[in-house]
Chains A and B, each alone.
Chain A
Amino acid sequence: MPAKRNMDLKKTPMPEQDPKIRATNFSEVALGYTEEMALNEASRCLQCKNQPCVSGCPVNVQIPSFIKLIAEGQYIDAYSKIRETNGLPAICGRVCPQETQCEERCVRGIKGEPVGIGRLERFAADYAIGKGVEPPVCGYPNGKKAAVIGSGPAGLTCAADLAKMGVDVTVFEAFHTSGGVLVYGIPEFRLPKALVKKEIDALVCMGVKIETNMVMGRVLTVEDLKEMGYDTIFIGTGAGLPSFMKIPGENLNGVYSANEFLTRINLMKGYKFPESDTPVVRHKRVAVVGGGNVAMDSARCAKRLGAEEVYIVYRRSEKEMPARTEEVHHAKEEGINFHLLVNPTEILGTDNGYVRGMRVIKMELGEPDSSGRRRPVPVPGSEYDIELDAVVVAIGQSPNPLLRTATPGLATQKWGGIIADEETGATSIEGVYAGGDAVSGAATVILAMGAGKKAAQAMYEYMMKK
Chain B
Amino acid sequence: MYRILKKETLSEQVKLMVIDAPLVARKAQPGQFIILRVSEMGERIPLTIADYDAKAGTVTIIFQEVGKTTLQLGSLNEGDSLQDFVGPLGTPSHFDSSVKKAAVIGGGLGTAIAYPQAKKMHAIGIDVTSIIGFRNKDLILLEKEVGAVSDKLLVMTDDGSNGHKGFVTDALKAEIEAGEKFDLVVAIGPLIMMKFVSRLTKEYGIKTIVSMNPIMIDGTGMCGGCRVTVGGQTKFACVDGPDFDGHEVDFDEAMRRQGMYKKQEGESCNLFKGVK
Contacts and interface: CB of A to CB of B under 8 A. Distances in A.
Interface of A: 174-176, 184, 212-215, 218-220, 240-242, 244, 246, 250-251, 253-254, 256-257, 259-260, 263-264, 268-269, 272-281, 352-353, 400-402
Contacts of B158: none
B84 interface: yes
Contact of B220 (A215, A269, A273, A274): A215
Contact of A260 (B24, B217, B261): B217
A218 B27 contact: yes
Contact of B268 (A250, A256, A277, A352): A277
B221 A401 contact: yes
B37 A176 contact: yes
A400 B87 contact: no
Contact of A175 (B68, B85, B88, B218): B218
The 3 lowest CB-CB distance pairs between A and B, nearest first, are: A279-B264, A353-B256, A260-B223
B19 to A, nearest CB: 12
Chain B contact residues, majority secondary structure: mixed
Contact of B224 (A214, A244, A401): A244
Contact of B218 (A251, A253, A263, A276): A263
Of B83, B86, B220, B271, chain A has the most CB atoms within 10 Å of the CB of B220
B272 to A, nearest CB: 9
B234 A268 contact: no
Interface stretch (B9-17, B38-46, B99-107): B38-46
Contacts of A275: 41
Contacts, number: 116
B166 interface: no
16 contacts: A174-B220, A212-B84, A213-B84, A215-B87, A241-B222, A244-B224, A250-B227, A251-B234, A257-B224, A259-B224, A260-B225, A269-B41, A274-B268, A276-B41, A277-B42, A400-B220
Contacts of A246: 234
Most B CB contacts (10 A, CB to CB) among A214, A242, A269 go to: A242
A251 B222 contact: no
Contacts of A259: 222-224
Nearest to A277: B43
Contacts of B43: 268, 276-279
A432 to B, nearest CB: 20
Contact of A263 (B69, B86, B217, B267): B217
B229 A274 contact: no
B239 interface: yes
Contact of A242 (B224, B257, B261): B224
B253 interface: yes
Nearest to B222: A240
Contacts of A219: 23-24, 27, 86-88
A402 B24 contact: no
B44 A268 contact: yes
A251 B44 contact: no
A254 B257 CA distance: 9
Contacts of A176: 37, 44, 83-84, 86
Interface in B187-243: 217-225, 227, 229, 234, 239
A174 B218 contact: yes
Nearest to A220: B23
A256 B226 CA distance: 10
Q: Among the interface residues A175, A250, A251, A263, which one has the most CB atoms of the partner chain B within 10 A?
A: A251
Contacts of A218: 27, 87-89
A276 B268 CA distance: 9
A281 B43 CA distance: 15
A269 B41 CA distance: 8
A250 B86 contact: no
Nearest to B45: A277
Given A174-B220, A260-B223, A273-B264, A213 B253 contact: no
Nearest to A276: B41
A274 B224 contact: no
A400 B256 CA distance: 27
B183 interface: no
Given A176-B84, A219-B88, A353-B257, 11 more contacts: A175-B218, A176-B83, A254-B260, A256-B225, A257-B223, A272-B41, A273-B264, A276-B43, A277-B43, A279-B261, A353-B253
B86 A215 contact: yes
Contacts of A273: 264, 268
B53 interface: no
B217 A250 contact: no
A174 B35 CA distance: 11
A240 B221 contact: yes
Contacts of B27: 218-219
A463 B185 CA distance: 53
A277 B68 contact: yes
Contacts of B89: 215, 218
Contact of A402 (B44, B239, B253): B239
B265 interface: yes
Nearest to B224: A257
Given A218-B27, A274-B271, A278-B43, A251 B227 contact: yes
B270 to A, nearest CB: 9
A213 B227 contact: no
A277 B264 CA distance: 9
Contacts of A276: 41, 43
